[in-house]
Amino acid sequence: MSDEWIVSKTGIRERRRADDRDATSDLAARAALAALEQAKVRPEDVAYIVLATSTPDHPQPATASIVQHLIGAVNAAAFDINAVCSGFVYATTVAERLLRAAEEGRYALVIGADIYSRILDYSDRKTAILFGDGAGAVLLGTVAESCGIRETSLLTRGDQYRLISVPAGGSRLPANDRTLQEGAHFFKMDGRGVRSFVQDNLPGALHELLDRAGVDREQVRHFVPHQANGVMLGEVWPEIGLPRATMHLALERYGNTGSASVPVTLDLAHRQGEFADGETVLMAGFGGGMTVGAVLTQWAPTAFARPREQELSAVG
C-alpha cells in the first residue's frame, strides 16, 4: 500500500503514535495541563473533569480519575464518557449542563483522548491507515453573555451499533484464548456502512441544530468536524450547506485521533489565528454507537460555553 493510495483514499499523510510507556491518561493529563496553563487557572479550581475516550487505561477505574490525580485537580469530580468519536462533543454538552447547575465561578475540564494504535489490527488496511493517537482539552468557565455555546445536539442510532466495535473484552464476550486468537479485541469497522450513516445523519442533525438556535447557514464561519476521513468529509460537505464557512482539517498531519480529533483541530485552528472574535463556530462529532453530536458556539479567545447572565463560558 503506497503513500499515494492512502492520501487519495483518506487525505491522511501522517499519524502520531503514543510512546510505549504512555497510556491514555498520560496524554489526557498533558492536554489538560496545557489548557489550564493557557487559561491561567489552577488545577485545584476545577470542579469537574469529563474525559471522552474509547481507549481507557483500564475497564475500571475511570481514566478521568487517574487524570485528576496526575494533574492535582483534588476538588474535581471526574468521570469518563464513551461515545467513541463523538465523545468530545458529548462530554462538552454534559460539562456545560453541570456548570449551568453549579454556582458561578466553577470550571470544568473537557478532554478528548484516545490511543487507537493499541487496538488496531495492522493487517486490516481499511482501518490501520486511518488512526493516530492524541489528546486535546478545553476548560469551561464563565464568559460574557455575547459569547459561548449557543446550542448543542446529540443523536444516537443504536440500531446501527454493529458498524463500529471492539467485540471482545467486555461482559458479553470476555477476553480469552479464543478471542485473542481470533483478533476479537481489535477495532472493527464497516467502512461503507459508516460512510452511509454519516451521509444520512450528519447534515440533517446540523440543520436541525441551526434551526433550533435560529442561526442562518450563512452566519456560520467555521466548521470543525471529527477528522474521520478527508475524502468522506469532502463528499458530505456540500450536503451540510454552509456557504461562508471554512471546514478545518488536521487529519493530514494527525489522522483520525478518535475523541481527540475535534479538540486537536480546534486548538490548531485557534493557534493559527483562524478564528476572529464573535464568529460562529460549529463543531461536530460522529462515530460508534452510532452517534452524532454538535456544539454551536460564538467564538472568543477565552470563551467557549453557553452564555447566560453572569453564567457559563469556557477558557483555554
Residue 310, Ramachandran bin (φ over 0: left; ψ between -120 and 50: alpha; else beta): left
Task: Yes or no: say if 38 and 278 are a contact pair by the CB < 8 Å rule.
Answer: no
Q: Does residue 201 carry a catalytic annotation?
A: no
Query: What are the grid coordinates assigned to 244, written together?
Result: 461562508
How many Cβ atoms from other residues are within 10 Å of residue 269's Cβ?
A: 18
174 has which bridge partners?
none
From 82, 85, 147, 270, active-site residue: 85
DSSP E strands in 143-186: the ranges are 148-156, 164-165
Q: Does residue 69 carry a catalytic annotation?
A: no
78 has which bridge partners?
49
Distance, CA of 35 to CA of 57 (rounded, Å)? 21
Sign of CA dihedral 22, 24, 26, 27: positive
Distance, CA of 93 to CA of 97 (rounded, Å)? 6
Helix residue ranges, H only, 112-187? 125-128, 177-182
From 82, 222, 256, 270, active-site residue: 256
Q: Does residue 185 carry a catalytic annotation?
A: no
From 82, 147, 222, 226, active-site residue: 226
| C-alpha distance from residue 84 to each of 81, 219, 237, 272, 286 (Å) | 9, 29, 22, 27, 8
DSSP E strands in 199-298: the ranges are 220-225, 246-247, 280-287, 291-298
Contacts of residue 287, Cβ cutoff 8 Å, sequence gap at least 6: 83, 84, 85, 86, 87, 164, 226, 228, 258, 259
User: 111 φ, ψ to 5°?
Assistant: -125, 140
| Residues taking part in catalysis | 85, 226, 256
